[in-house]
Structure 1
C-alpha cells in the first residue's frame, strides 16, 4: 500500500496574525496583484486589521466578493475575474465555503493560495480539497486540488470573537477525524495510512476531549487563551491533516447523503457530522464505552445526537432512504470502511443512533 503525507507549506496561528499578511503575500506572490475571495460581512469584520496589514507592508489587493456558497458558477466567475486582473496569488478569507472557493479558483488558474479563516467551523483551511455544492444546497462534488495551500494564517483573536456556534461545529467536524482515519487504517489492514496521519488524527480527538469545554467558554466570552488555541489548532490543523492523510469514511458519507434533505440545510456541516460520527460508531458496532464517550462529548457541547436536532425529527424512512442510498454511492467515502455497508445498514444505523441520542438526552446529559 502506498503511504503519503501532505500538508500546507506554512501554518501559523496566534492573536493578531492577520497583521502579518503582507509578509506572507510577498513570499508567495512577489510584487504581483493579489485576489481576495471573501464575503462582504467577513471583510467588514476584519477591515481595520486588513487596512493595518496593508499599511505595514503594502500590496495590490483586488476584491472578489463571495456570495456565500461554493458552487461551480461561483468558482467560474471569480476565476475569470482573477485572470482578467492578472493576479499572481489568491487569498481566501472567511469560513469553509469561502476558503474552498478560493482554493478552487487558485487551482483552476495554477496560482498559490493563502488561507485566512475567520471562524473555526470546519477543517477546510489546510486541506487539498474543495467541496462544491449545487445552487439548491446538495453536495455536487469534491475537487481534488493539485496541492494544499501555501500558507494558512490563523488569527485566534478573530476566531475568539466569532459566534461560539461556529467553534462548536468545528469541534463536531473534528470529532469524526480519528474514527474515520481508524476505519481507513482497519480497511487497509493497518498499512494504508501513514503513522503520521494516524497519530495526528488520534491527537485531534485527545485535544478535543481535554479542552473542548474550556475553549467553548473562552469563545463565549470573546477571549483567547491556551484552551482555545489548542482547540483551534485541533480543528483547523490536526483535523485537516488527519482527514487529508487518514481519509474520510462513513461519518462524512452519511453527512453527504443527508444534504439531499432540505431540512438539514440550516445546520452547519460540523453539527451534522457530529451526529453522523455516532452513526458510524453504530455501523462499526463500537464498544459501549466508546459510544458513551462520544455521546457525552457531543451532549456536553450541545452538538446534535438525534435526528430531531438536525431538523429530521418527524422524517419517515421513505425520505431517509434516498439519503442512505446516496451515502453508499462510489463518489462518497463509504467504501473506505473496513466492511461492506448497504443503504439498509445506513438507514438502520440512523435510527439506532437517534435512539441512543434520545436516551442520552432523557438521562439529562447535555
Structure 2
C-alpha cells in the first residue's frame, strides 16, 4: 500500500475532547462523566472490577447515573465485541465506559462507535496509548492479530487515576514506555504518509511525539523505580502522561510504522502471546531502526533505554531463544500484510518481506552485542 496514493495535501490532527489525570481522579468520575449521559454501560474484566470497577459503579450511582455493568472476557475479538454490543443495545445505554487495560478500552470504543454513543476511557494501567486513540486493535479469540478498527472520533473523556496506575506492577508502566518510545521514531519515518483518517501529519503532532520521547529518556527509569514501590512522584506523573496522552496524540496524528507492524507479526509466534503490547513493540523499535539504517549511536541509545526499564530487545529476552528462521519469516510475512502500517513509511516502496526478516535477525544481533560490550546486568522480565 503506497504511503500517499491519492496525493493528499491537507494536514490533520485529532484528539480526545477532554483529558484528566491525577491521584484519586476516579473519585470525581461522576462529575466528569455525567456530561456524557445518564445510563452508561461500564465494561471491565473481573480483576479490574475488584480493583476499581466496583468503586466506580458506586461512585457513578451516587452521582445519579443508572450504571449497567458488563464483564469483558478474554480477547477483544469480533465475537466478544458482538456479544457486548448486543448487551449494550438490550440495556438501552446512552454512553460506554471502558475501565482497565488497552484491550478493554479498545472494546469499549468499538461498541460505542457501533451503537453511536459517547465513550469514556478509564485506564487502570499505563501500558499502552490506547486510552486516547480512535483506533482499536482486534484479535482472534486465540490471540492472533486480526485487524485494526478505525473510529470516526476519539474518546470523549479520558480519565486517568495515577493512584490506581501506581498500584499496578511496574512491568505495565515499562510496557507503556516501550509503546511510547516508538512514537517519535515512527513519526520521523512517516512524514509523507497519510494518517488513517485521511491527512498528513501536522507540526504539532511531531512536537508532541518529540516531547514524549524527551520525557521518557529523562524520567523513565526514575518513574519505573517509583512504580515498584507504588509511589506517585512527579516523574511517575510525567511518564504516565507521556505513555497515555502524548504517545496517543503523537502516534495517531504523526504516523505508525515498522515497530508496530513487527508487534503484529510477532503474534504469529504462540509462545509470545503472554508478552504485553509494549514489550513486543520495544523489540519492534530495534527492528525499525535496523530497517531504516539508523546510526550505531542512535540504535544503542534506544537499546540502553529499553534495558534500563527491563524491556526485551533480543530473542532470548523475548522468551524465544531457539526461534527458527521459518518462524521469523512467518513474523516478517505477517508484518508485511497489505494493510500493515509498515507501508506508511517514507521508504515503504523499498520494503520487502526478506528485508524485514533480515532486520529482525539484525536487531537481535545488535542488541546481544550491545549487552555483551556493556556487560549489562538485568533483573529479568
TM-score, length basis structure 1: 0.96
Within 5 Å, give how 1:247-258 maps onto structure 2: 247-258=255-266
Deviation of 1:25 after TM superposition, in Å, equals 2.2
> Match for residue 307 of structure 1?
315
> Match for residue 181 of structure 1?
187
Query: Which of 3, 8, 24 in structure 1 is aligned with 2:16?
Result: 8
Structure 1 CA distance, aligned partners of 2:274 and 2:295?
32
Pair 1:74–1:174, CA change in 2 (3 A): same
> Match for residue 5 of structure 2?
none
Give the secondary-structure state (helix, strand or coil) at the position aligned to 1:215. helix
Query: Which of 99, 102, 125 in structure 2 is aligned with 1:119?
Result: 125
Pair 1:44–1:203, CA change in 2 (3 A): same
> Match for residue 338 of structure 1?
346
Which stretch of structure 1 is more off in the superposition, 53-62 or 197-206? 53-62
Query: Which of 339, 353, 361 in structure 2 is aligned with 1:351?
Result: 361
**Are residue 360 (structure 1) and residue 370 (structure 2) matched?**
yes
Deviations 1:32-54 (A, max 9, x none): 31101101110100256425623
Preserved CA contact (<8 Å) 2:44 2:53: no
> Match for residue 148 of structure 2?
142
**Are residue 92 (structure 1) and residue 102 (structure 2) matched?**
no
Moved over 3 A (4+): none
Pair 1:85–1:253, CA change in 2 (3 A): same
Deviations 1:228-285 (A, max 9, x none): 1000000000000001001110101111111111011111110010011010000010
**Are residue 153 (structure 1) and residue 159 (structure 2) matched?**
yes
**Are residue 199 (structure 1) and residue 207 (structure 2) matched?**
yes
> Match for residue 211 of structure 1?
219
Deviations 1:87-117 (A, max 9, x none): 0000000000000000011011011001100
Gaps of 5+ in 1: none
TM-score, length basis structure 2: 0.92
Structure 2 CA distance, aligned partners of 1:53 and 1:294?
42
Deviation of 1:187 after TM superposition, in Å, equals 5.6
Query: Which of 214, 220, 232 in structure 1 is aligned with 2:240?
Result: 232
Structure 2 CA distance, aligned partners of 1:170 and 1:357?
20
Deviation of 1:56 after TM superposition, in Å, equals 4.7
Deviation of 1:360 after TM superposition, in Å, equals 2.0
Deviation of 1:55 after TM superposition, in Å, equals 6.0
Deviations 1:210-231 (A, max 9, x none): 0001111111011101001000
Structure 2 CA distance, aligned partners of 1:220 and 1:252?
27
Structure 1 CA distance, aligned partners of 2:60 and 2:318?
42
Structure 1 CA distance, aligned partners of 2:311 and 2:253?
26
